Structure 1
Amino acid sequence: MLTRLAWLALEATDLEPVRKFYAERLGLTVRAQRADELVFAAGEADLVCRRPDAFPRGGLHTHYAFSIPAGEYDDWWARLATTYDLEEAQFGSARSLYLYDPEENCVELGQRDVAGPGIDGIFEVVLEVESLERAREFYEDLGFETVDTGDDRKRVRLHGPMALELWEPHLGIADARGGVHVDLGFETAAPEAALDAVADRVRSVERASDDAVVVRDPDGHFLTFTSA
Structure 2
Amino acid sequence: MLSSLRWLALEVKYLDRAVAFYERHLDLSPTTRRESEAVLDTGGTDLVLRAPSGVPRGGLHVHYALATPPDRYEEWWDRLADTFDLVEHRFGSARSLYFYDVEGNCVEIGQRGEGAGALSGVFEVVLEVEDLDRAEAFYTDLGMDVTNRGEERKRVRLTTGRFDLELWEPHLGLADARGGVHVDVGVGADDPAAAAARVEGRARSVAPLDGERVRVCDPDGHYVTLLE
Q: TM-score, normalised by structure 1?
A: 0.96
1:183-219 CA distances to partner (integer Å, 9 max, x unpaired)?
0101222111011111111011244456111121010
- Secondary structure at the aligned position of 1:151 is classed as coil
Asked whether the equivalents of residues 191 and 210 of structure 1 are also in contact (C-alpha less than 8 Å), the reply is: no
Provide the C-alpha distance between the structure 2 equivalents of 1:48 and 1:209, rounded to a whole number of angstroms: 19
Is the 8 Å Cα contact of residues 6 and 184 (structure 1) preserved in structure 2?
yes
Partner amino acid, structure 2, of 1:203: R
Aligned-partner SS, 2:142: coil
Residue 3 of structure 1 corresponds to 3
How do residues 1-228 of structure 1 correspond to structure 2 at under 5 angstroms?
A: 1-160=1-160, 161-208=162-209, 211-227=212-228
2:97 & 2:120 partners in 1: Cα distance?
Answer: 15
CA contact (8 A) 1:27 1:118 kept: no
User: What amino acid is aligned across from residue 100 of structure 1 in structure 2?
Assistant: Y
Contact 1:158 1:164 in 2 (8 A): yes
Amino acid at match of 2:124: E
Q: 1:12–1:52: 8 Å Cα contact kept in structure 2?
A: yes
| Separation (CA, whole Å) in 1 of partners of 2:104 and 2:113 | 27
Q: Give, in angstroms, the shift of residue 118 of structure 1.
A: 1.0
Question: 1:107-150: CA deviations, max 9, x gaps?
Answer: 00000141132111110000000111111111111221111110
What one-letter code is carried by the residue in structure 2 that aligns with 1:182?
V
Q: Is the 8 A contact 2:67 2:109 kept in 1?
A: yes
Structure 2 counterpart SS, 1:77: helix
> Which runs of 5 or more structure 1 residues have no equivalent in the other structure?
none
CA distance in structure 2 between the partners assigned to 1:113 and 1:179 by the alignment: 23
Contact (CA 8 Å) 2:61, 2:105: kept in 1 or not?
yes
**Runs of 4+ residues over 3 Å off in structure 1:** 206-210
Provide the C-alpha distance between the structure 1 equivalents of 2:51 and 2:208, rounded to a whole number of angstroms: 21
The answer on whether the counterparts of 1:68 and 1:116 sit within 8 Å (CA) in structure 2 is no
**Which structure 2 residue ranges, 5 or more long, are not aligned?**
none
Partner AA of 2:45 in structure 1: A
CA shift for structure 1 position 55: 0.6
Partners of 2:97 and 2:108 within 8 A in 1: yes
Instruction: Go from structure 1 to structure 2 and tell me whether the alpha carbon gap of 1:171 and 1:17 turns closer, same or farther (over 3 Å shift).
Output: same
Q: Distance in 2 between matches of 1:44 and 1:73?
A: 18
String of CA shifts for 1:138-185, please: whole Å, max 9, x gaps.
Answer: 111122111111012100011113110000000001110000000010
Q: Mean Cα displacement is larger for which, 173-182 or 187-196?
A: 187-196
Alpha-carbon separation, structure 2, partners of 1:212 and 1:196: 13
Q: Tell me the matched-pair count.
A: 227
- The two structures, once aligned, show a CA RMSD in angstroms of 1.2
